[in-house]
Chain A
Amino acid sequence: MVNYLAATSALDDVKHVINVLCEPHWFLIISVVALAVFLLKYRTVTKPAVAGTIGALCTLAFLVSCLDSNFVKIVTKADNVPIVMMMVLVGFLLWLAFRQAALNDERMERGEPLREAGADDKVLVWPDLVYIELIALVLCTAALVVWAIVLPAPLEQPADPNVAPNPAKAPWYFLGLQEMLVYFDPWLAGVVLPGLIIVGLIAIPYIDKNPRGNGYYTFKERPFAISTFLFGFVILWVVLIIFGTFLRGPNWNFFGPYEFWDPHRPAALLNTEFHDLFWQGLLDRRLPEHFLIRELPGIVLVVGYFVVCPVLLKATFFRRMYLQMGFIRYNVMAFLLLMMMLMPIKMALRWMFNLHYVVGITEWFLNV
């Protein structure tokens, strides 16, 4: 057997390793670890020299990767270029914020005034604000024009409703939602979770009445809030967009960045229901007839998750927070947090146990 990818150069071995590391579970784990390291070591990491080196290494890796035709095909696709830019932008803005936070935190430790202290942040609407907006407008227009010239949209063949493109992808900003559809029933992934994202974002000011960190950059004073937000944004939003853009290929299969998008490549897609694991695997009994009994373990698990976890957390990690927030605020926060954590939990369950649904009441289209 001669495989196209198994050619002999050393670079190919590296490519192979990267391809493997880009499998979703590794990718997610690496992202989470990277985020954790970043948050823990933010002062070191955001030093210009370190951050510059990391940035330079990433750029180098990107450029070297561009020697690979499959990689180039994916990243230079006109639709995908903005996502490449978004990755750069997210990295830069993270650095910018955390660099300032790091400096402020150091100042606070040293008892010096904050960087933002004494700054008069009042700006005149006219001429300053309007003028700057005008300039921004002009620059954006110019940039869009140049973009349209340099990366023209390809003229595709007439859409045929009988033939869906393969892969059929949502617009880039919905790719995270589309990724959720892989793990959740549509009513959750398409309705409840997106709704909760919006509701949750609206609710933040009412939940979080902590005045610290207002108007200045800091991480040390708000570790939980910022970490939670970054987990939700970077891991559960940006990383999923990257999945959807660069790694999801034909038939919505995962492909490494250096792999050819072969529509005929098979994928092992096995689904196991929780009730099978419980009744047949654990108890070695046949499934109960009635679906409510059948799904009871799953329901218990889900309800338990939402009931037990807040209580447990209240007693352990969040004891101080509970006292500060009070019963209602705390429970709303805990609910939103748990809802958010559903996503990584479900992903892990899928990858580890091929778990399809925890509660699978297909009779009612009520699957979790």
Chain B
Amino acid sequence: MPIPESRLYNPNKLNRWFAISSVLMTASIFWMIWVDYDRPWRAFQERYFDAKAAVAHLDYLDAMLPEYDDKLREAEYQLASAEEYAKPDAGQLEKLEKQFEIADLAFRIANNKYSGAFQELEVTRSTYETTLGEHGAGHARTEAAHAQFREEEALVESLRKDKEVFEDQRDELESQIRTLTAKVRAAKKHVAELEELRASALLRDQQLRGVLPSDDEGGRLPLVKAIIHAPLGDFTAPKTTPGRQQVRQLVLPDVRQQLNYLESYTTDRCTTCHIAIDDPAFAEERLASRLERALPSINEALSRKGRDLINPPEPPVLASGTRLPAGGVSEHWDDLAQEQRSEYLTALLDLVNGYMEVCDREPIEIGQPILAHPDFDLYVSIDSPHPANKVGCTVCHEGNPQETDFVQAAHSPPTHEIEEAWKNEYYITRLGIPNVTFETVAHYWDRPMRLPQYTEAGCAKCHSEITDIALFEGKRHGGRINLGRYLFTQVGCINCHNIKELAGARRVGPDLRHIAAKLEPEFVQPWIYSPQSFRPSTRMPHFFMQENNRDQGANNFDPEPVLRTETEVAAVSRYLFALSDDWKPVTKPADTVGDPTRGRELFKQFGCLGCHGNIAEYGQEWITKDLMQREGLDEQTAFHRYKGMTYEQRVQYASDRFPTDTDTIFDPDATRFDPEDLDKPPVFTRFAPDLSGIGSKVTADWLYSWLINPAHYSATTKMPSMRLLPSEAADIASYLMTLENNAFVQGEFEMTPERHAMAEELIFTLLSAQKSERRSMAIVQDVGGELTSMLVSLLTRTLGKDAAYDLVSGMTLEDKQLLYLGNKTISHYGCYACHEIRGFEGATPPGTDLSTWAEKPVAQLDFANYNHAFHDMRHDQPDVYGFVYPRDAWDLNRRSPTPDDLQEQITHTHAAFAKHKMLNPRIWDREKLKRPYDKLKMPNFYFTEKEAEALTTFLLSRASARVNDSLKVDYAGSTLGPIARGRHLTRELNCNGCHQLEDNAPTIQQYFARDVSGTILFDEANAPPRLWGEGAKVQPDWLHGFFGNVEPLRPWLQVRMPSFNLTSEQATTLVAYFAALSQRDAMKLNESLAPVAEAIEAERARGDEEWAETWFEKSLLADAAGRLRWFSVDRKLMRARDFDVLAQSPERVREAHAKLLNRAEFMQSLFDIEYPFGEPPLTISPDERFERGSFLFNDMGCLKCHVFGKMLEGPAANTDQFVQTYRLDAVRGEGDDAIVILNGKPYPIGAVIDGHTLISAQNLRYAGGDVETTAVIEGPGPVGINERVQLLAASAPNLALSYKRLRRDWVQGWMLEPALIQPDTKMPQNFAGGVSPFLGDPAYPGTSTDHLELLADHLYEAGAMGLRAPLLKIVIDDSEEEFDEDGEGGDDEFDEEEEFD
């Protein structure tokens, strides 16, 4: 077909178009390839590989040092000499080798025969089995097969024996040869290793830089590098090529993500940029050490090049004043401050990079993202508890795991300054327009990376109990989320907001069902309205005078918020008092009159201060001292400043500036009593109310009753019973009633016509939400008794119908209205959630369930008018949106120590929402027009920023874990469960306030500072005991019983163990907690001790005693040594300076480590207990051995301090009996005013007890710090003549309890090493060095261990038999010289007593 001539389109034109479009497409495809290739992470990886290459180069330089050559030559020489040494044995060796060859050949032949026969036997066996199966036993064929089998079996057996003969021969010869050649082989290996190291360093360097291996240093082959790094060329290199740039990812099967009704593993690509995160060489410390080590080799290289040499950087000076050795700083890395570290590292890098420049190499650039994880030993590292290949990164940090671009990975800029800086660096721009910004990412990604302060929210995924996160190798972790969890239950968040993991928490507020017996309406109303006006440190939050209900918060729908809220408060108060039921306080015996002075002493002595603060008592001392330190005032000025403060300001000062009880748990080092740092601020506890204004609050009768028995007023209170005697309670009550806060204006909100109208309007509003206006109006006015019947039905469930009717019908209309409004107001604000209030039994909590709060879509969080990123709003309207509290809200700001202008952005994230809600709960109502009952009502707790962040962290952790069980902490099967539960409970009961349970710093410690000859020390002996190792010490059954029935163990202690109202389950939790703590310590110690012991034993067996003594220097055991050192210092087994290589000679350090091992092993075996198994039953046999035990017991002098057995029953007829009947516990006060505690009961001087008169009593204080408490009585002696007898208070526990209280193993350990088990104990070490003082005494045969057992057996048997050791009677006669009846040389003491007389 002919082609038509006229064509519509000009072929040339089409050709041109085709050419243009082809060029365009080609260009676009190249562009695509380039865009795909040009990723920011390549630059980071290049930096990393350059740095790695540089380090390899440094290794190579090391290997090029003359010393290295020397080492190599030395090794070669040793090889030569070993060979030389082996020469005389050459003949022998040759002979052996020949023999070996012969034996080996014979073995092979024999073995071949054996193997063949064995295989045939297998066939025969199979035949026999088949025949047996087919024909049965006894058949001819079976018999034949069996016979053949037996025959072959015998053959195989004999062949095997033959073979083994030769085998043994061969092996024996081989081992002989090996022994002969051992030295030569080792030397050869050493030489090879050294050569290999040099070559491999060079090779690594070359590979990382893409230089051909065979090539020398200078001669690069750029082509190779160009190809393996080129776009589309990079895939040609195998994945394992060193220096290959590629996307790296961690595939994490155990970390799950939700994908359309199924879960999938997570893939974290963070390591693509953070490439050094798992490279220990890039951990700061190791890097510094590596660079430091490189300096000599660099100098060597420089000198080869004829360049100037370099000097190590100036070493930093430690805080203690020690100057570190130049070039040896990295060994003391932990002692340096963060700034010093980075400064030193930079200086090192500068030096090394100077050299790199000389070599024309890339400099080492360290810094994000080229750094190892800062907590490398806890996270990421393969040996750590959280290895990167198991848990990955986003499990805690969140963000977009699969992205490799900075912005799209959802990095979160913490402040807008940083965002600005990041914008320029990281936004993805195309054609100059930023098209991936932080805002776009926020739009698509609900969970951007967490700011560092919230990372701990991730902990809860696996550590669901949270409290098990505490210390790791001496560093404290999880403080934020722990504090958040603690606050959530402690301040009462949990009462309004359910979280299913915390279900069953108690109500934090006091019981208000009998409020009329405790408080007056004049107090209650202003208190509800503004609790902090009365007590600035209170936990009771502020509902009123907040941003949305103060005058400035008025709007069209709520024109008078202040009047409204005052009316509401009046109504609440009316309701509470109207429904307050009859409650009779515990009546005070008629003759008891409280003595405030004595009460004040008792208040301090009994330990009330462990939970309660008391600014009235300590304010002057604390605030003056703090002012002097903080502002550098002199004492006079500081005192005047203090005087000038109102009471409220003082408490305000204390609550703003002093650490609180939470710090004693979560930041204990800052609050621990430290004799070296007496300038530490005091701990102002907020655990229980500060009592410094209590006298203005409660009634005296109520207070007495409360002190005597708190449970009488409120069965669920946390306040324990202190087992006070009526007189003590009266004293303390009268003291507390003197603590008044007169600045707090009391008074009711009078029902003025305005308030009354407001009340009616509010009721109308509430009613008309459901009913018509006309009906609502009628109810408000109680037309036809409608209001009455509504009230009756409201209260029927609580009071019963008749009582409710009686109550309501007798009221005036106003009272009825207020009753109704009060009920609805309590219901609206949710007062009943924290307080027991009548009429609200079983009401559901008012707050949102927060169990999975963090999973809520961000769009469901109402950010009010904060529509844009915070800085936009702040820029446009700074006065409205620039501050946590509005500019004019000075009164709100005053109460909150929060900075008014937060740097952190309000982004639309969960964290920003929660944090700002916590700081100002009404912030998300700002500029909104709302009706009164639509307004936000969460009260203001005036959290500090730290607390707000802690709570936010906790809330952020409330989401499904999405991790497999294999990652979750095994609470059921390990000690962690009981420990976590124990920590919950002890924190709730505030055991931490008095006892050191783990590493907490008890609040009460600050009151036990004691001046001993000019030095302030902690009065350990009189403070509540430290409970380290309690689980290993006491028997579980006893401890369980003890919680239910506290008996004084140390009668001389003034501070009292309270009687908590514990359930049996709670007591069990505590017992299990203590046991688990001991077990955990034993396990941890064992983890460190076992490898050390094993290694030392192995080296000793090889005869390397030197190695065994310097085990702690070996890198293999460095971690274990570090852990053991930390444990020993922490538990006061050793002092840190014992290990200080700078301060101590090497011998001393070695000795210290030897001691450390001993002590750690001792503690390990002590703590290694079986729980819940108690002690084996006792076999009591009062035989000759028992007698011997009792003698040894006496000879040991146990009874000098201890008593044994119960006191006799009174009355005491004479002084002999008196001594055995009345135990002197303590003496309080001095001189004639002294109070003598006998058998736990107080007696004044001059009291007559069973015909004996108390003459005098005193506490003798000795220079060493010991106290001896004595009392003198006068009474009829055994022969009828009056005599004076001195009573001596026991200073050690009653041993009669031991058999049921203590564990046997512990008792033996305690006798051996009391000071290790309880530092600063008064118990002497009777078995010094483990040796019995009576070793070798014919009366006590056996070893020291036998003596220990004898003593323990005696203690337990005698205790179980109920024996008692009579107390010593000390008669004072006129000569006053026969006191010393025990004959133990107490002369000096009594001489001193004379002086005191």
A53-81 interface mask toward B, CB cutoff 8 Å, 1 = contact, 0 = none? 00000000000000001000100101000
Residues of B within 8 A of A161 (CB): 260-261
Q: Which of A1, A151, A163 contacts B927 (CB 8 A)?
A: A1
A150 located at the interface, meaning its Cβ lies under 8 Å from any Cβ of chain B in the complex: yes
Whole-angstrom CA separation of A111 from B872 in the bound complex: 64
Residues of B within 8 A of A157 (CB): 400, 444-447
Whole-angstrom CA separation of A334 from B444 in the bound complex: 47
Contacts A1-B927, A128-B8, A264-B862 given; does A154 touch B257 at CB 8 Å: no
Whole-angstrom CA separation of A73 from B873 in the bound complex: 17
Q: Nearest-CB distance from A137 to chain B (Å)?
A: 9
B21 located at the interface, meaning its Cβ lies under 8 Å from any Cβ of chain A in the complex: yes
> What residue of chain B has the Cβ atom nearest to residue A150's Cβ?
B430
User: Does B436 lie within 8 Å of A152, measured CB to CB?
Assistant: yes
A148 located at the interface, meaning its Cβ lies under 8 Å from any Cβ of chain B in the complex: yes
A1-16 interface mask toward B, CB cutoff 8 Å, 1 = contact, 0 = none? 1111001000000000
B259 located at the interface, meaning its Cβ lies under 8 Å from any Cβ of chain A in the complex: yes
User: Does A163 lie within 8 Å of B857, measured CB to CB?
Assistant: yes
Q: Nearest-CB distance from B924 to chain A (Å)?
A: 10
Q: Nearest-CB distance from A72 to chain B (Å)?
A: 10
Residues of A within 8 A of B261 (CB): 161
A262 located at the interface, meaning its Cβ lies under 8 Å from any Cβ of chain B in the complex: yes
User: Does B444 lie within 8 Å of A154, measured CB to CB?
Assistant: yes
A122-144 interface mask toward B, CB cutoff 8 Å, 1 = contact, 0 = none? 11100110011011001101110
Name the interface residues of A237-267: CB closer than 8 Å to any CB of B: 250, 260, 262-264
User: Does A156 lie within 8 Å of B436, measured CB to CB?
Assistant: no
B403 located at the interface, meaning its Cβ lies under 8 Å from any Cβ of chain A in the complex: yes
User: Does A145 lie within 8 Å of B877, measured CB to CB?
Assistant: no
B383-421 interface mask toward A, CB cutoff 8 Å, 1 = contact, 0 = none? 000000000000000001011000010000000000000
B11 located at the interface, meaning its Cβ lies under 8 Å from any Cβ of chain A in the complex: yes
Q: Which of B23-31, B779-787, B834-842 lies on the face that meets chain A?
A: B23-31
Residues of A within 8 A of B259 (CB): 158-159
Summed over the interface, the residue pairs from A and B with CB atoms below 8 Å come to a total of 118
Residues of B within 8 A of A149 (CB): 28, 31-32, 35, 430
Q: Which of A123, A134, A262 contacts B18 (CB 8 A)?
A: A134
B158 located at the interface, meaning its Cβ lies under 8 Å from any Cβ of chain A in the complex: no
Query: DSSP majority for the A interface?
Result: loop
Residues of A within 8 A of B112 (CB): none
Name the interface residues of B1-49: CB closer than 8 Å to any CB of A: 3-4, 6-9, 11, 14, 17-18, 21-22, 24-25, 27-29, 31-32, 35
User: Does A142 lie within 8 Å of B444, measured CB to CB?
Assistant: no
Count chain B residues whose beta carbon lies closer than 8 angstroms to a beta carbon of A: 57
> What residue of chain A has the Cβ atom nearest to residue B428's Cβ?
A152
User: Does B859 lie within 8 Å of A250, measured CB to CB?
Assistant: yes
> What residue of chain B has the Cβ atom nearest to residue A156's Cβ?
B444
> What residue of chain A has the Cβ atom nearest to residue B440's Cβ?
A154
User: Does B859 lie within 8 Å of A166, measured CB to CB?
Assistant: yes
User: Does B880 lie within 8 Å of A2, measured CB to CB?
Assistant: yes
User: Does B445 lie within 8 Å of A142, measured CB to CB?
Assistant: no
> What residue of chain A has the Cβ atom nearest to residue B445's Cβ?
A157
Residues of B within 8 A of A85 (CB): none
Contacts A2-B880, A146-B31, A154-B444 given; does A128 touch B24 at CB 8 Å: no
Residues of A within 8 A of B22 (CB): 138
Whole-angstrom CA separation of A161 from B938 in the bound complex: 32
User: Does B867 lie within 8 Å of A262, measured CB to CB?
Assistant: yes
Residues of A within 8 A of B25 (CB): 138-139, 141-142, 145
Residues of A within 8 A of B258 (CB): 158, 160
Residues of A within 8 A of B8 (CB): 120-124, 128
Residues of B within 8 A of A138 (CB): 18, 21-22, 24-25
Residues of A within 8 A of B18 (CB): 131, 134-135, 138
Task: Select the residue from B9, B403, B447 with max chain A CB neighbours within 10 A.
Answer: B9
Whole-angstrom CA separation of A260 from B868 in the bound complex: 8
User: Does A132 lie within 8 Å of B440, measured CB to CB?
Assistant: no
> What residue of chain B has the Cβ atom nearest to residue A149's Cβ?
B35
User: Does B445 lie within 8 Å of A156, measured CB to CB?
Assistant: yes
Whole-angstrom CA separation of A326 from B311 in the bound complex: 107
Whole-angstrom CA separation of A2 from B865 in the bound complex: 10
Q: Nearest-CB distance from B946 to chain A (Å)?
A: 30
User: Does A127 lie within 8 Å of B11, measured CB to CB?
Assistant: yes
User: Does B435 lie within 8 Å of A76, measured CB to CB?
Assistant: yes
Whole-angstrom CA separation of A131 from B12 in the bound complex: 12
Whole-angstrom CA separation of A131 from B22 in the bound complex: 13
Q: Nearest-CB distance from A195 to chain B (Å)?
A: 30
B1372 located at the interface, meaning its Cβ lies under 8 Å from any Cβ of chain A in the complex: no
Residues of A within 8 A of B17 (CB): 135
User: Does A123 lie within 8 Å of B444, measured CB to CB?
Assistant: no
Contacts A1-B927, A2-B880, A2-B927 given; does A150 touch B28 at CB 8 Å: no
Residues of B within 8 A of A139 (CB): 21, 24-25
User: Does B4 lie within 8 Å of A128, measured CB to CB?
Assistant: no
User: Does A124 lie within 8 Å of B31, measured CB to CB?
Assistant: no
Whole-angstrom CA separation of A156 from B436 in the bound complex: 12
B876 located at the interface, meaning its Cβ lies under 8 Å from any Cβ of chain A in the complex: yes
Contacts A142-B28, A145-B29, A149-B430 given; does A154 touch B927 at CB 8 Å: no
B1263 located at the interface, meaning its Cβ lies under 8 Å from any Cβ of chain A in the complex: no
> What residue of chain B has the Cβ atom nearest to residue A151's Cβ?
B435
A269 located at the interface, meaning its Cβ lies under 8 Å from any Cβ of chain B in the complex: no
User: Does A150 lie within 8 Å of B435, measured CB to CB?
Assistant: yes
User: Does A131 lie within 8 Å of B14, measured CB to CB?
Assistant: yes
Residues of A within 8 A of B446 (CB): 157
Contacts A154-B440, A264-B862 given; does A148 touch B32 at CB 8 Å: yes
Contacts A154-B444, A155-B408, A156-B444 given; does A145 touch B28 at CB 8 Å: yes
Whole-angstrom CA separation of A150 from B429 in the bound complex: 8
Q: Nearest-CB distance from A329 to chain B (Å)?
A: 37
Name the interface residues of A23-69: CB closer than 8 Å to any CB of B: 69
Q: Nearest-CB distance from B907 to chain A (Å)?
A: 15
Whole-angstrom CA separation of A2 from B763 in the bound complex: 31
> What residue of chain B has the Cβ atom nearest to residue A163's Cβ?
B857
> What residue of chain A has the Cβ atom nearest to residue B859's Cβ?
A263
B929 located at the interface, meaning its Cβ lies under 8 Å from any Cβ of chain A in the complex: yes
Residues of B within 8 A of A120 (CB): 6, 8
User: Does B7 lie within 8 Å of A132, measured CB to CB?
Assistant: no
User: Does B408 lie within 8 Å of A154, measured CB to CB?
Assistant: yes
Residues of A within 8 A of B445 (CB): 156-157
Whole-angstrom CA separation of A159 from B441 in the bound complex: 15
B1101 located at the interface, meaning its Cβ lies under 8 Å from any Cβ of chain A in the complex: no
Whole-angstrom CA separation of A127 from B15 in the bound complex: 11
B319 located at the interface, meaning its Cβ lies under 8 Å from any Cβ of chain A in the complex: no
> What residue of chain B has the Cβ atom nearest to residue A78's Cβ?
B435
Whole-angstrom CA separation of A120 from B27 in the bound complex: 37
Whole-angstrom CA separation of A134 from B9 in the bound complex: 14
Whole-angstrom CA separation of A7 from B872 in the bound complex: 13
Q: Which of B14, B257, B440, B872 contacts A158 (CB 8 A)?
A: B257
Whole-angstrom CA separation of A317 from B439 in the bound complex: 56
Q: Which of B31, B260, B430, B865 contacts A145 (CB 8 A)?
A: B31
> What residue of chain A has the Cβ atom nearest to residue B908's Cβ?
A263
Residues of B within 8 A of A121 (CB): 8
Whole-angstrom CA separation of A184 from B27 in the bound complex: 49
User: Does B857 lie within 8 Å of A166, measured CB to CB?
Assistant: yes
> What residue of chain B has the Cβ atom nearest to residue A261's Cβ?
B867
Contacts A2-B877, A135-B18 given; does A155 touch B447 at CB 8 Å: no
B431 located at the interface, meaning its Cβ lies under 8 Å from any Cβ of chain A in the complex: yes
Whole-angstrom CA separation of A260 from B863 in the bound complex: 13
Whole-angstrom CA separation of A300 from B27 in the bound complex: 65
Residues of A within 8 A of B439 (CB): 73
> What residue of chain A has the Cβ atom nearest to residue B880's Cβ?
A2
Whole-angstrom CA separation of A4 from B261 in the bound complex: 41
Q: Give the top 3 A-B pairs by smallest Cβ distance, nearest first.
A: A145-B28, A142-B25, A263-B859
Given contacts A4-B877, A149-B32, 7 further A-B contacts (CB under 8 A): A2-B927, A135-B14, A138-B21, A145-B28, A149-B31, A155-B403, A263-B859
Provide a sorted-by-A list of 16 A–B residue pairs whose CB atoms are within 8 angstroms. A2-B877, A3-B865, A3-B927, A4-B876, A124-B3, A131-B9, A131-B18, A132-B9, A135-B14, A141-B25, A141-B28, A145-B25, A148-B32, A149-B430, A155-B400, A262-B867
